[in-house]
Amino acid sequence: MKETHRSPLKLILGIVTVFLLLLLLGVGILYLKIQEPAKRSADFARLQQEAYQGVFFSMCAPEAFPEDIYPTYMGYDAVGCSHRIASFSDLSDYLETAFSSDNEVTHVFLMLDPLLLWDSSLHRDAQFSASLEGKLLAYVDTYTGAEFTVIFSAPSLAYWQSHADGDLDTYCNVIRVLAAPLSARENVTLYFPGQEEWLISNPDAYDTPRELNAVAARSTMLLILSGAMQYRDTEDYNSLDHFSALVQQAVSSPATYPDLSDYDLVFFGDSVMGNYKDFASIPGVIGALTGAKVHNLAVGGSSATRSNGENASFNEVVENLLSTSSLSLPDDDKLCFVINYGLNDYFEGYSLEKYCDGLENGIRTLRDTYPNAHILVISSNYILSFEKGTAPKGDDGNVLADYVTAAEETAAAEDVDFLNINEVLQWNADNAAKYLADAIHPNEEGRWLFGVAVAHEMF
């Protein structure tokens, strides 16, 4: 982003470009004047009248980011904007209103769209720099007692696959220009959700190619509040380099998945599947990538073996499904059952014989009712707890690998498909911590990779 001397032709083209940008900006300003005053007025009234310690101003789908998470998870109240911030000047109006209120503002959350900021500065370096200095950094430097959390927008991978040639370099360059002075301030922390493959690659996380939906926005904010997704520029890791490599790979070699849009997938399992029910769950990822309708019947703490009257074992969940008809399932040639048990069977030391019996009985019951349905058994994933799954359990002293082998043998005996997820993911003692939330359950990235592996194996 540097000024250069132009030839007459380039000068004419530049004038035309500026004219078009001014026209677009004028249209945008007209829209703001006609459509947005009510939102702005309501926002300013809240900022002036309500009691709060934090504010959230967003250039991307502000309505998707909930206010309730701040008192619930952070212990303070925050006011969010309903108006979509459109420029540095717009942002400055909001910051000025908040800081001039009777509140002591200690937390400022800003969701910035680099492309929109560059467009609103008419693609002029000088104007961009002046606006950044006077309309954002000035507040950061003046109100040093406030913590500024700056979040860069995260357009979807689908967006970048359509715009990588034109917008990608601009997006990255603007982030670098923003990050350099902001990261030098002690009261600023930068976050970059765009570096997270599990987020930007999941189509079910987005309302539009450039904006997260409410569920994904909430998940993203909770992770940011926990300190995850920070923008990093170190010798070991550069967020933008990682992001650019991810996008370039997706553009040059787009991933393909089977089209299962006319299929229903029913998932049975324990907390690895059952603790998560949204777009970032393993079933959610598989549904998003294949287009299938998913039904997550997994129950945390359950096993293939257990029968304790809580309707939690594999067989009990199957019987409940068949007896209550709680799901409206299609013809069985458009139906797939996905089964993932083994961790709790190992933790509780159930014998391999009982484990195999549990899998066998559940599979046979499903097949009796849905003879043409596809059935896939998935092994349990690699864990770090219980001596990385090597601590002997039960009277026979079995280790986790024994349950993986038993699941594979049962699937073969019942003539159903089997996926050893560990052979695909290659998690081990050196890298598993990156993919596990708590030594057992996959985190967001782990669930994404798990789901991708299963999606590739479907049919």
Chain segment 91-105, per-residue pLDDT in tens: 999 999 999 999 999
Mean pLDDT of the chain, nearest integer: 92
Beta bridge pairs of residue 336 = 265, 374
Q: Are 118 and 228 in a shared domain?
A: yes
168-195 pLDDT, tens per residue?
Answer: 999 999 999 999 999 999 999 999 999 9
The answer on pLDDT for 306 being more than 80 is no
Q: Name the helix (H) or strand (E) containing 133.
A: none
Range of the domain at 155: 38-252
The percentage of residues in the chain with a pLDDT greater than 90, rounded to a whole number, is 86
CA triple 206-211-215, angle to 5 deg: 50
Give the model's pLDDT for residue 80: 95
**What size, in residues, is the chain?**
459
Residues 6+ positions from 237 with CB-CB distance below 8 Å? none
The answer to whether position 32 is within a domain reads no
Q: Are 240 and 268 in a shared domain?
A: no
**pTM (two decimals):** 0.89
Q: Are 245 and 273 in a shared domain?
A: no
Domain stop point among 252, 275, 291: 252
What CATH number has the domain bearing residue 81? 3.40.50.1110
Q: Are 246 and 269 in a shared domain?
A: no
Q: Are 166 and 279 in a shared domain?
A: no
* pLDDT band, very low/low/confident/very high, at 34 (cuts 50, 70, 90): low
Domain stop point among 218, 252, 286: 252
Place of tokens 């998003």: 288
Q: Are 226 and 371 in a shared domain?
A: no
The answer on pLDDT for 12 being more than 80 is no
The answer on pLDDT for 147 being more than 50 is yes
- Asked if 119 and 29 count as a contact pair (C-beta separation under 8 A), the reply is no
Domain stop point among 229, 252, 275: 252
The answer on pLDDT for 3 being more than 50 is no
In the chain, the number of structural domains is: 2
The answer to whether position 183 is within a domain reads yes
The answer to whether position 27 is within a domain reads no
Q: Are 60 and 206 in a shared domain?
A: yes
* pLDDT band, very low/low/confident/very high, at 275 (cuts 50, 70, 90): very high
372-426 pLDDT, tens per residue?
Answer: 999 999 999 999 999 999 999 999 999 999 999 999 999 999 999 999 999 999 9
Question: CA-CA distance, 180 to 194, in Å (whole number)?
Answer: 18
Q: Are 163 and 293 in a shared domain?
A: no
The answer to whether position 33 is within a domain reads no
Q: What is the CA radius of gyration of the chain?
A: 26
The answer on pLDDT for 20 being more than 90 is no
Edge-first strand order for the sheet with 374-378 is 293-296, 264-269, 335-340, 374-378, 417-419
Burial 73-82 (b: 16+ CB within 10 A, else e): eeeeebbbbe
- Report which of 452, 448, 443 is spatially closest to residue 223, judged by C-alpha positions: 443
DSSP character string of 299-360: -TT--SS--SSSS-SHHHHHHHHHHH--S----GGGEEEEEE--HHHHHTT--HHHHHHHHH
Give the model's pLDDT for residue 4: 44
Give the model's pLDDT for residue 374: 97
The answer to whether position 15 is within a domain reads no
